[in-house]
Amino acid sequence: MSNALLSYDKLLKQQTVELILCDHFLDGAYAENKIMLCANALVRRNDFDNAMKRMLIKMYDQARSENYKCDNCKHLACTEVRAALFNSQCNPKERQRMKLLMKGSSSKAKERLLANEYCVREVAIGHLKEKAKCEEKAERYVDYVFEKCKNDTAPINSSKANKLKSLTTIM
């Protein structure tokens, strides 16, 4: 991840990540090149890892796109879908295995992949609802960007074939 950020002149340093106490129990936030994680909300290792991955995806998306707008609900929805892909609750390892099994197209594999996609949608919608501006239509925004954004797993799995070059492609 940090190598991918370097190509956009971003450096992940200890000062980039800050643990804070939060009044509202959110995972954290990313603003102005700083990741802030809510120490009082992230008590389990999985919670911390999921929040950190989510903030790193936000950092990466903002760095790689010249037209990323933090107040654009479609841009945020795409980032949340991408972050949810790596959420342990949705089991990313299982998703990769299911994609391979889909080539044999067993009905059980299709069901599991659909369940995984449902999980990714629900996690993304839940996180998008944290943004007041997007809360009311969060489900609609996620549905709108889902098909394009679910295949963009950069920088974790940086296959050029699936990487969105610009967020204007989802507008």
Which of the pair, 11 or 115, is modelled with greater confidence?
A: 115
pLDDT digits (tens, 9 = 90+) for 38-71: 999 998 998 999 999 999 999 899 888 888 998 9
Rg of the chain over all Cα atoms, to the nearest angstrom: 16
Tokens of 3: 């190598």
Q: What is the number of structural domains in the chain? A: 1
**Hey, what are 43's tokens?**
């008590």
Band (pLDDT 50/70/90 cuts) for residue 161 is: very low
Q: 83 pLDDT exceeds 90?
A: yes
Specify if 146 maps to a domain: yes
What share of the chain has pLDDT > 90, as a percent?
Answer: 44
* Range(s) of the domain holding residue 99: 44-170
Q: Is residue 108 part of a domain?
A: yes
* Contact status, residue 10 vs residue 33, Cβ threshold 8 Å: yes
Going by C-alpha positions, the residue among 151, 153, 129, 152 that lies closest to residue 140 is 129
β pairing state of 28-31 and 34-38: antiparallel
- pLDDT at position 51 is 94
The pLDDT tens digits of the residues spanning 93-128 come to: 655 665 665 565 667 767 777 888 999 999 999 999
Determine if the peptide bond prior to 92 is cis (ω within 30°): no
- Residue 35 maps to a domain: no
In a domain, 25, yes or no: no
Residues contacting residue 116 through CB under 8 Å, at least 6 positions apart: 90, 91, 94, 95, 98
Q: Is residue 12 part of a domain?
A: no
If one compares 79 and 91, the residue with the highest pLDDT of the two is 79
Tell me whether residue 156 is in a domain: yes
